[in-house]
Amino acid sequence: MISREPTIERLATARQLLLEPFGLDESHLARALAAIRAHQVDDADLYFQYTRTEGWSLEEGIVKTGSFSIDQGVGVRAVSGEKTAFAYSDDLSVASLMDAAHTVRAIGSAGKSARVRIPKTRVAPSRSLYPALDPIATMDSTDKVQLLGRVEALARAQDPRIVQVMAGLASEYDVVLVARADGTLAADVRPLVRLSVTVIAEQGGRREVGSSGGGGRFGLAYFDDALIAEYVGEAVRQALTNLDARPAPAGEMTVVLGPGWPGVLLHEAVGHGLEGDFNRKGSSAFSGRIGQRVAARGVTIVDDGTLPDRRGSLNIDDEGHATQANVLIEDGILVGYMQDALNARLMGVAPTGNGRRESYASLPLPRMTNTYMLGGDKDPREIIASIKKGLYATNFGGGQVDITSGKFVFSASQAFWVENGRIQYPVKGATLVGHGPECMKKVSLIGNDMRLDSGVGTCGKEGQSVPVGVGQPTMRLDGLTVGGTA
């Protein structure tokens, strides 16, 4: 059997789903873009999307809900200077496409570009980071229900104190096609799956929650028995540990963050502040600081959309640019920002493959993909042993950051009190309070155990949510403020 090059294969899939059923072809896309460019604009693009999603959830031993949805449409955008005109429609027809094109071109100046040369189509370079499959079709409905049943049975069998189990299985098949005013044509086929497990443990009238899960860009066969047991075991362990948690102390102290998911603190406290729009507008605590020290020596932070199969990875971003591995902070020095096309043009730099949107009905924004801190040379046990009195935080729940001031607040969902290098007991109610750039200057020890999260992250910005990844090694921060309940 002869197979086509993956980029061409993805384009073929996008044409079959998004153009051919509606009497569209690439000549219609070129006409729509030419209509926009009949007025003076700096940029224009068309973003077609087809999304099919399925979800199953279990609670109280019963699969209570199952959902299935299909959405499709096109977003049409014109950009002039800092201004953007945008229209979208779920009607994929020639008439609707041209109506949208004529609407958004009003942002530009008319009269000077009456004759428009249609550029030659250029297929955008991309990668093959994940299979171009429909994950919903990789397992039948009976097997999906049975998978959730195994989660329930396994969790309850681990300890009689587990009184409630909730599990969810989600799959998404997303196909996008991007046509740009410069003739660029790009497509992607994006599978995405996630299994989530939450348990409630009860002892002596006290109830505590534990959660786990993971996923990425592949089929549902990824969730084999061994991985399910790992997720369930982690959720149960968290809940049972929290049953013994004492009130957290408060004050300024040494804090050690565990590897993996605690990188969500970097995502919020540092990552958002390094997105291009905030820095172009001067509203970030990192604005105008390229080349300056913003973190301790040894701190290197990367945003990398090219990691195979990862939840935050993309073959192309939502503007048709190939994703990249972008070093943001190198050995403590700020070296770059994450850029979409609009902010990159206005800042006089190249796009970095970080233009992302929630759907065809949303405008692209500079967003993170997989953001993580590189590992150091310290044994994690050595880092914990270095704590005279302090907190060891291994899991985080919610948090928030003020981009302009850089101040953040994070709640630890699992943490331990440490004295003289030994873990004493779990604590509850600890919150970390700090200032992003100053917090990163307090890093004193960096572990050699860099780990990415298991594939559960979703990032919100300006009302849009997109899948992301985070990660970090074990690291020690000196003199961080902890808000507690003790």
Segment 190-238, tens digit of pLDDT: 999 999 999 999 999 999 999 999 999 999 999 999 999 999 999 999 9
C-alpha–C-alpha distance, residues 88 and 432, integer Å: 41
Of the listed ranges 104-118, 267-281, 285-299, 369-383, the least confidently predicted one is 104-118
Segment 116-155, tens digit of pLDDT: 566 777 787 778 999 999 999 999 999 999 999 999 999 9
C-alpha–C-alpha distance, residues 415 and 250, integer Å: 13
Q: Which helix (H) or strand (E) holds 86?
A: strand 83-89
pLDDT at 84: 96
pLDDT at 486: 63
What's the whole-number mean pLDDT along residues 381-398? 94
Residue-averaged pLDDT of the chain: 94
Q: Which helix (H) or strand (E) holds 163?
A: strand 162-180
pLDDT at 3: 54
For residue 109, name the pLDDT band (cuts at 50, 70, 90). confident
For residue 5, name the pLDDT band (cuts at 50, 70, 90). confident
pLDDT at 323: 96
pLDDT at 404: 84
Residues 392/380, Cβ–Cβ less than 8 Å: no
pLDDT at 124: 77
Of residues 371 and 112, more confidently modeled: 371
pLDDT at 337: 98
pLDDT at 399: 74
For residue 108, name the pLDDT band (cuts at 50, 70, 90). confident
What's the whole-number mean pLDDT along residues 311-331? 97
pLDDT at 113: 44
Extract the tokens encoding 219: 């089929």
Q: Phi/psi zone of residue 282: left (φ > 0), alpha (ψ -120 to 50 degrees), beta?
A: left
Segment 25-74, tens digit of pLDDT: 999 999 999 999 999 999 999 999 999 999 999 998 899 899 999 999 99
pLDDT at 303: 98
pLDDT at 111: 55
Residues whose CB falls within 8 Å of the CB of residue 360, separated by 6 or more in sequence, listed in order? 47, 48, 49, 72, 73, 74, 75, 88
For residue 114, name the pLDDT band (cuts at 50, 70, 90). very low
| C-alpha distance from residue 331 to each of 203, 204, 281, 393, 454 (Å) | 47, 49, 26, 24, 26
Taking the chain, what is the end-to-end CA distance rounded to the nearest angstrom? 67
Please identify which residue in the block is written with the tokens 């224009």. Answer: 44
**DSSP for 433-482?**
EEEHHHHHHTEEEEBS--EE--S-EEEEETTEEEEEEEEE--EEEEEEEE
**Is residue 426's pLDDT more than 50?**
yes
Do β-strands 457-461 and 206-216 pair in parallel, antiparallel, or remain unpaired? Answer: unpaired
pLDDT at 1: 45
Segment 233-260, tens digit of pLDDT: 999 999 999 999 999 999 999 999 999 9
| C-alpha distance from residue 477 to each of 269, 335, 386, 434 (Å) | 14, 22, 11, 11
